[in-house]
Structure 1
Amino acid sequence: MRTPLEITTALRAQWAVLRAGRGRIIALAAAALAVLLLGLLPALTNLSSCSEGTVEVQCPTDPIGPDGAPVSDQSFFAHVPLGERGVITARMTELTGTITYPPPNHDQIVSGVVPWAKAGLIVKDGTGQGSDYAALLMTGAHGVRLQHSYRHDTAGRPGGVSPDQPRWLRLTRDGDTVTGEESADGTAWTRVGTARLPGLPATVQVGLFATSPGDLTLREIGLGGHVGEVRFTQAVGVFDHVTIDGAPVTGWQRDTVGELGHTDWEKYHRPAGLVEENGVLSVTGSGDIGPIGSMGSTRPESTLLGLVVALIVVIVAGARFGVGAAGRVIAARAAALGGLVLAGGLAVAGLTLTAGTLLMQHKGLPVAPLGPLTGLRVAAGAGVLLAGAAALAVALGALCRRAWVAATAGIALVVVPYLLSVVPLLPEQVTSWLLRLSPAGGYAMLQTVVAYPQVTMHYAPHAGYLPLPGWAGLAVLGGYAVLAVLLAVRLRPPAGTDPTVVDFR
């Protein structure tokens, strides 16, 4: 075992060797500059601007939910005011709708509801998009649910709804607490769940709503890859026996929350709205209320486009630095270069994330807000990714003894699997396993996309969703780097201990 003094001395020695290589320092500085410039490029050009004809307009952006993150919030909402305590009850007898251009030919409009079409009762903090809410709802294929604050979903009794088998729904507000219950007969009630909405105002809006997310189908391209195509849908919820604290509700206010579709669709679909006839209320809407925005906002980690260039430079520099190293010098060089790259990568990634996001927001481009904790996590992930690749490249340089061979191997292990995954030409199963089994899994430390079961979305690597959680990506990349360094130390002993090895230091 080496003493701490010996380890420190070895690191200082290799740090001196690292600093003496001006070419390496210049290359690493150029890599940092590439990350910064490529990250700011969308904000400094008009490539991401929005226009109507020849006129530039403000880009559409997603509403911001109660936790400060982008959300979807489109529905038709028929509502009345409700105080700090109250109960709304309704019997739901139908959930129908239409799907535009369904598979396989995408050339017709048919009746039907998509699995996550929603209609039911909702308590909402106003009619503005992104306002907090709790909803007890019927879905197209997932039974009764209590959903609130965009991210929370509690399952109730499965099954559907029909005039022969109606569902009774009841929402109770008590201050900041909203409780959802459902019943088959309006007498025996079963609790679905309870939601707490901190800061709910004294007067909220309560009523009926309907919404329906797009019908997602996958179109095959390339060698088995897929891209998602979303088709317009709408849902119609039919209710009767609607009461608040036992009294029938009258004087409904009608609001469209968000944009529900192009007006031309109304030639072929029911217009969004509320129809009242003999105590029966039909509510028609489209869109979604959920935790992922629908406007395609730029994710914070997308500003780190230049990270691929930086990885290539770091791998080449690490491979050259590792050639000729032997024994524990390999570990010292991996630690010295990895430490430098970690610090530099963290700093430049943090600067790029912050500056790029602020510039795009200033220009009105659609970009998700960057929270301090998210920014720190993504910047740290970028630094660790670069450092792990650097350590791996040093070990490969020592093992291969030729810089170009080591650099090629490092790029093939770290960069190529990621590039194959972000272009949807290969089957998702192939690219997902590449990202699980190769050091490129370290990219998972950067992602901010979360998979929600209640959101209709194509969760694939090319859409920004990587198969590993961040900690697992760190473990995969770190495991490759540590094992490669240990193997290199084992197989490349210092000169004098193995007559077949020449010390190139």
Structure 2
Amino acid sequence: MRSTTRRPDFAPVLRSEWVKFRTVRGWLIGLALAAVLCATFTFLVANGNNSNFQPHVPTGQGGEAVADTYYVLDQPLTGDGTVTARITSLTGVISTAPSNEAASQANPGDAASGFANTRPGLAGWAKAGILLTPSTAQGSAYAAVMATGSHGDRFQYDYTHDTAGSPGSVSATAPHWLRLTRTGDTVTGYDSANGTSWSEIATAHLAALPVTVTVGLFTTSPMTFQTSSSGARTMATATFDHVTLQGQAASDVAGTAAAWHGQNIGGGPQDYYPTLANGTSRQAGGSMVLSGSGDIAPAVLAAELGATTAPATLQLGLIVALIALIVIAAMFVTAEYRRGLIRTTFAATPHRARVLGAKVVVAGGVAFAATGLAVAVAIPLAAYVLTAKSTYVFPAGAATDLRVIVGSALLASLTAVGVLALATLLRTSAAAITIGITVFVLPGIFSAAAPASGGERWLYEFTPAAALSVLQTFPTAGQVEYPYTLANGYYPLAPWAGLAVLAAYTGLALTAAALLLKRRDA
């Protein structure tokens, strides 16, 4: 005969657990204390930063920090148009001087003989090609098609977007033809091996392009880290011919060179991006030779700046807040065992998994809310303190700040749930709190204090400390060569991958707690 006993819905069980939590004043005070500690220690870390370095770092279309330093030979284009050019040579030099020394004087058009402390060499991401932008002010929107040192032809726009075209390096026997076409707000890049058969690389939609834009030939060459962990400045020199501009401002470079205007974008005393020297251009028969140093890409040279971000000051405050949340999460379970009230709870709700699930939702929910609120307050507070102390704050962007807030809240929530599961297994506060701090907090402390010998990388990859990667704010970019190491402010795992490691630990503890809860007496 089928049983007529009806299992209670989850909502009443959840309501009951929430009432238990909010009626214990000490837990509410502890929750508020966790939020206050997070904000307070973040403030103290920010206030302890004494850097007075104030470089100029442009920001891109999403508020992200960007590098925007190059040499360009340009002119205005009104309405739709097409620029075509052939690159017959792309060479470069690499500085052999320490990266913190100023570049020596030189003739960039003949860099190999002009620099006393350079050697021949072309950076892999040296760039030469055609660029379109509404303004040459740093950080402006743009689209460009280019040949590179060792990554073939590329179409890039707005600093973070990169699409590969034809492979291969530029040489006299294998020149690269490039074409950039504007139609309204749409810009399309093409390449060709012979100037007759063209292949489309990609298209960009640059919103609200003005009627008149700037188009031109450009060259730039970034820092290279192939032979030095501290980087070396570089310069590239490109030779262009068969340059034509079809449109309202149409002109032929070889016949009307005066219509084109050469200028260095960025590279001044306050520009953060290290350059070898100012770029130049010269006419050689029917060709134009351009030299440039710098980069057009996401700004990732944070270590070169001694820079910080407001979210980067959060780690200590977050770890201290976790200790308070661990105590609360453990006691949320063990208090009922200590007083014998767990029997009453299971009598009212025989389906024990529902009780555990309700406790998980309450503990995880309050930890998420308290930490999210604390971090949302701490980030602008840290930014204010850093700015007031004349400390340079690396632009992170609103999307990054939001990811840090949500990621930190999830980190706290998963930690609280993991400790709650431990408390269910162990039934005693002291043991649950001790193991909880050992498993979920100490790896983060050790990883922050460990010397850069590889041990801290292991902690950030395989322990719950991996979740601290949600605090990563310095950008990474596939089109930028850079040592993305802990020493330079980069966690070994991506933010959500690091959070997944913590989720795995929490899931394992929760599964064990659910299985054991079913099998043993209250």
Which TM bucket (shorter chain)? 0.7 to 0.9
CA deviations 1:246-289 (Å, max 9, x no partner) are 623412322211127899xx9x9665211223233221111110
Map 1:42-57; keep pairs closer than 5 Å: 44=47, 47-50=50-53
CA–CA separation in structure 1 for the residues paired with 2:172 and 2:268:
27
Shift of 1:137: 1.0
**Structure 2 vs 1, CA of residues 4 and 183 (structure 1 numbering), >3 Å: closer, same or farther?**
closer
- Aligned equivalent of 1:453: 478
The answer to whether 1:117 aligns with 2:143 is: no
Query: Does the CA-based 8 Å contact 1:322-1:393 persist in structure 2?
Result: no
CA deviations 1:474-495 (Å, max 9, x no partner) are 444334324323423443569x
Map 1:416-495; keep pairs closer than 5 Å: 416-419=442-445, 421-422=447-448, 425=451, 434-461=459-486, 463-491=488-516
- State the secondary structure of the residue aligned to 1:178: strand
The answer to whether 1:14 aligns with 2:20 is: yes
AA aligned to 2:62 is D
CA–CA separation in structure 1 for the residues paired with 2:174 and 2:18:
77
**Structure 2 vs 1, CA of residues 247 and 61 (structure 1 numbering), >3 Å: closer, same or farther?**
closer
Percent identity of the aligned residues?
36
Query: Does the CA-based 8 Å contact 2:334-2:424 persist in structure 1?
Result: yes
From 135, 143, 160, the equivalent of 2:152 is 143
Shift of 1:130: 0.4
The answer to whether 1:414 aligns with 2:440 is: yes
Q: Which moved more, 1:158-167 or 1:440-449?
A: 440-449
* Number of residue pairs matched by the alignment: 472
The answer to whether 1:193 aligns with 2:174 is: no
AA aligned to 1:394 is L
From 64, 67, 73, the equivalent of 1:72 is 67
Shift of 1:321: 4.8
The answer to whether 1:257 aligns with 2:257 is: no
CA deviations 1:301-338 (Å, max 9, x no partner) are 21423112212332344345544646756655554433
Query: Does the CA-based 8 Å contact 2:309-2:383 persist in structure 1?
Result: no
AA aligned to 2:192 is S
CA–CA separation in structure 1 for the residues paired with 2:68 and 2:472:
23
Shift of 1:237: 1.3
Map 1:41-440; keep pairs closer than 5 Å: 41=44, 44=47, 47-50=50-53, 59-101=54-96, 109-217=118-226, 228-245=229-246, 247-248=252-253, 249-251=256-258, 252-259=260-267, 271-294=278-301, 296=305, 297-305=307-315, 306-323=317-334, 325=337, 328=352, 333-361=359-387, 365-369=391-395, 371-401=397-427, 403-419=429-445, 421-422=447-448, 425=451, 434-440=459-465
Q: Which moved more, 1:239-248 or 1:468-477?
A: 468-477
CA–CA separation in structure 2 for the residues paired with 1:269 and 1:70:
21
CA–CA separation in structure 1 for the residues paired with 2:252 and 2:18:
80
CA–CA separation in structure 1 for the residues paired with 2:157 and 2:138:
14
TM-score (normalizing by structure 1): 0.81
- State the secondary structure of the residue aligned to 1:442: helix
Shift of 1:10: 4.1
Query: Does the CA-based 8 Å contact 2:93-2:236 persist in structure 1?
Result: yes
**Structure 2 vs 1, CA of residues 303 and 425 (structure 1 numbering), >3 Å: closer, same or farther?**
closer
CA–CA separation in structure 2 for the residues paired with 1:422 and 1:209:
43
Shift of 1:63: 0.5
CA–CA separation in structure 2 for the residues paired with 1:157 and 1:102:
34
- State the secondary structure of the residue aligned to 1:230: coil
Query: Does the CA-based 8 Å contact 2:14-2:362 persist in structure 1?
Result: no
Query: Does the CA-based 8 Å contact 1:74-1:288 persist in structure 2?
Result: yes
Query: Does the CA-based 8 Å contact 2:22-2:28 persist in structure 1?
Result: no
Q: Which moved more, 1:455-464 or 1:179-188?
A: 455-464
**Structure 2 vs 1, CA of residues 417 and 276 (structure 1 numbering), >3 Å: closer, same or farther?**
farther
Shift of 1:25: 4.8
CA–CA separation in structure 1 for the residues paired with 2:435 and 2:516:
18
Query: Does the CA-based 8 Å contact 1:318-1:390 persist in structure 2?
Result: yes
- State the secondary structure of the residue aligned to 1:389: helix
TM-score (normalizing by structure 2): 0.79
CA–CA separation in structure 2 for the residues paired with 1:240 and 1:472:
48
CA–CA separation in structure 2 for the residues paired with 1:13 and 1:87:
69
Q: Which moved more, 1:38-47 or 1:84-93?
A: 38-47
Q: Which moved more, 1:175-184 or 1:27-36?
A: 27-36
**Structure 2 vs 1, CA of residues 232 and 269 (structure 1 numbering), >3 Å: closer, same or farther?**
closer
CA–CA separation in structure 2 for the residues paired with 1:377 and 1:270:
38
AA aligned to 2:289 is S
**Structure 2 vs 1, CA of residues 339 and 183 (structure 1 numbering), >3 Å: closer, same or farther?**
closer
Shift of 1:469: 4.7
- State the secondary structure of the residue aligned to 2:124: coil
Query: Does the CA-based 8 Å contact 1:422-1:461 persist in structure 2?
Result: no
Query: Does the CA-based 8 Å contact 1:331-1:485 persist in structure 2?
Result: no
CA–CA separation in structure 1 for the residues paired with 2:264 and 2:129:
15
- State the secondary structure of the residue aligned to 1:216: coil
CA deviations 1:408-428 (Å, max 9, x no partner) are 432343334444555674566
Aligned CA RMSD, in angstroms, stands at 3.5
AA aligned to 2:244 is T
Shift of 1:15: 1.0
CA–CA separation in structure 1 for the residues paired with 2:378 and 2:508:
32
AA aligned to 2:379 is L
**Structure 2 vs 1, CA of residues 184 and 420 (structure 1 numbering), >3 Å: closer, same or farther?**
farther
**Structure 2 vs 1, CA of residues 409 and 101 (structure 1 numbering), >3 Å: closer, same or farther?**
farther
CA–CA separation in structure 1 for the residues paired with 2:386 and 2:332:
38
Query: Does the CA-based 8 Å contact 1:439-1:477 persist in structure 2?
Result: yes
Query: Does the CA-based 8 Å contact 2:330-2:432 persist in structure 1?
Result: yes
**Structure 2 vs 1, CA of residues 287 and 421 (structure 1 numbering), >3 Å: closer, same or farther?**
farther
CA–CA separation in structure 2 for the residues paired with 1:363 and 1:356:
11
CA–CA separation in structure 2 for the residues paired with 1:369 and 1:350:
16
- State the secondary structure of the residue aligned to 2:290: strand
**Structure 2 vs 1, CA of residues 82 and 273 (structure 1 numbering), >3 Å: closer, same or farther?**
same
**Structure 2 vs 1, CA of residues 198 and 12 (structure 1 numbering), >3 Å: closer, same or farther?**
closer
